[in-house]
Amino acid sequence: MPEPTISVVVVTFRQGEGVRPALEALSAQLRADDELIVIDNASGDDTPRVVEGAAAARLVSSASNDGFPAACNRGAALASGDLLVFLNPDAVPAPGWRDAIAAPLTDASGWAAWQALVTTEGGTTVNTRGGVVHFTGIAWAGGAGEPIGGESALSEPGFVSGACLAIRRLEFDRLGGFAGDFFLYHEDVDLSLRVRLAGGSLGVASGARVDHDYEFDKGPEKWRHLERNRWATLIRTYPAALLALLAPALFATELALLLVAAAGGWLPQKLAAWGDVSRSFGRLRNERNEIQAQAEIGAGEFAAALTPALGSAYLGAAGRSRVLNGLLAAYWWLVLRLLGAGRSA
């Protein structure tokens, strides 16, 4: 039986020399039958020159910047490997990464999609050991800031991180790839939830490590993308019974986020995200119908992977509030009981 092959897709936009460490690490590890495809989103700088200097890389230049998920889909369409791996251009694979990221293809894990253990600060600190999805659709990197250690016992994540996301080629094609209209952010959450809805499981290949040069704060416009795509994910992926039970919580969350956005200086972006979702609602509804038609699990099983706890340092006072987290836990307990009784999708 031939060894499985992998196709690594890297999307660049004005990385310049910043992409060289990742390309050099990949070139040192990929086998002769593997692929490294770089989609450059019209960088307009010396990024293409740097990529062309990497012996193993195939450069595909886009005429315009169509965003990260659309470029990933383009790279996947050109790939031929058994496993697709989407790697951020500033995520540098550690030695042994190639074999470790490919291992779940043939071992007993049974995962449909998985991620590497993503580190930061030179491999000493966790960037994400598996994403967490709150029932409101807010999502964050699990374990961010923790020291490295104890990752071998990781449980199934709420989502797998796009910093280094691996998915079986057949599964990616079956699900239709990433949501190409997301442009930036939350596309990994959306794809992961569709994997679960279609009956697949997620995992973390802790032996595969990449060090990610990560910074959360990228300006107010990031919040527009995050909020627009959070709502697009809710509309597309959440079963109807779950959405109905969450309606009061989602309404309250929007009111709270208005105050947070006003205090944080991104209220215009929050309002713009509402407009984006409103204008695209017809398309999102059609996409929802297609996605829900592929569902292999009920609303209760889908909801079981979500969390009521706002346990992220990025959420500030809300994440530290025992009263708020207690109320959310009680609300979620009731939702799960109701879904467990009806088991409806």
What distance in Å separates the CA atoms of residue 240 and residue 221, rounded to the nearest whole number?
Answer: 30
151 closest CA partner among 205, 93, 85: 205
DSSP secondary structure code for residue 129 in this structure: S
What is the DSSP-derived secondary structure letter of residue 42?
-
What is the CATH architecture assignment of 6-212?
Alpha-Beta Complex (3.90)
pLDDT of residue 135: 98
Enter the pTM of the model.
Answer: 0.95
Q: Tell me what pLDDT residue 256 has.
A: 94
Model pLDDT, residue 320? 78
Residues 6+ apart with CB under 8 A from 124: 147, 148
Calpha distance 171→177 (Å, rounded): 9
The runs of H, that is alpha helices, within 144-298 are 169-175, 187-197, 221-237, 240-264, 267-279, 281-293
The residue length of the chain stands at: 345
pLDDT score at 150: 57
Domain ranges of the chain: 6-212, 221-342
pLDDT in tens, the chain (345 residues): 578 999 999 999 999 999 999 999 999 999 999 999 999 999 999 999 999 998 789 999 999 999 999 999 999 999 999 999 999 999 999 999 999 999 999 998 999 999 999 999 999 999 999 999 999 999 999 999 899 985 545 679 999 999 999 999 999 999 999 999 999 999 999 999 999 999 999 999 999 999 998 776 667 899 999 999 999 999 999 999 999 999 999 999 999 999 999 999 999 999 999 999 999 999 999 999 999 999 999 999 999 999 999 977 767 777 778 899 999 999 999 999 999 844 443
Beta strands in 44-138 (DSSP E): 57-61, 83-87, 91-93, 113-120, 125-128, 131-133
What residues does 60 pair with on adjacent strands? 39
Q: What is the DSSP-derived secondary structure letter of residue 118?
A: E
Q: How far is it, in rounded angstroms, from Cα 212 to Cα 235?
A: 30
- Spatial separation of the C-alpha atoms in residues 190 and 105, rounded to whole Å: 22
Evaluated on CA atoms 145, 149, 151, 155, the torsion sign reads negative
The whole-angstrom separation of Cα 224 and Cα 229 is: 8
Run of H or E including 141:
strand 139-141
Q: What gap in Å lies between CA 23 and CA 99, rounded to an integer?
A: 17
pLDDT of residue 54: 86
pLDDT of residue 219: 79
